[in-house]
Amino acid sequence: MAEAGHDVGNYRDHNPMIFSHFGRDMGADIPLASEFTINLKPLLDRFGSTSRLTLVLFNLDETTYSRELAPLAGHYPALCLGPPWWFFNSVNGMRRYFDAVVETAGIYNLAGFNDDTRAFPSIPARHQIWRRLAAD
């Protein structure tokens, strides 16, 4: 069986008991602090102001949105903020997302909502919550 690991802003399969019993991607993904401002600068210097590229950024670490991602998306036309995912995927989480990003990035620079749930019957209800909170 593969080992747990991490992505940008995410330590996947952190709980070894869950991982060994159920396998990968069964929960226990824990946010990690990430850095985007410096690391994306070479890409943004070259393509950040073009309309030919759309780069959608999202992260499990909620603090990254207000600190780095929203200001970057508000400045560079090529950047778009990814949807509230994982910890933002609730009424309170979506409100925190809007509070953290809209004032700086604007509503136009949001990518909308996606859902990767395996509980397919919940998808319409979750999208309805997103639509209502976005309209609020």
**For residues 39-78, b (16+ Cβ closer than 10 Å) or e, as one string?**
ebeeebeeebeeeeeebebbbbbbebbbbbbbbbbbebeb
Least confident of 43-47, 58-62, 92-96: 58-62
pTM: 0.80
Same domain, 103 and 49: yes
Same domain, 42 and 88: yes
Same domain, 73 and 130: yes
Same domain, 108 and 122: yes
For the stretch 97-109, pLDDT in tens is 999 999 999 988 9
Whether the per-residue pLDDT at 34 is higher than 80: the answer is yes
CA distance 36 to 87: 19
Same domain, 48 and 26: no
| Residue 40: band (very low, low, confident or very high) from pLDDT cuts 50, 70, 90 | very high
For the stretch 53-93, pLDDT in tens is 999 988 888 888 899 999 999 999 999 998 766 777 788 98
Mean pLDDT, residues 32-61: 91
Q: What domain range includes position 26?
A: 1-32
Least confident of 5-9, 28-32, 58-62: 5-9
Same domain, 128 and 64: yes
Whether the per-residue pLDDT at 1 is higher than 50: the answer is no
pLDDT, residue 130, reads 86
Same domain, 22 and 69: no
Same domain, 19 and 57: no
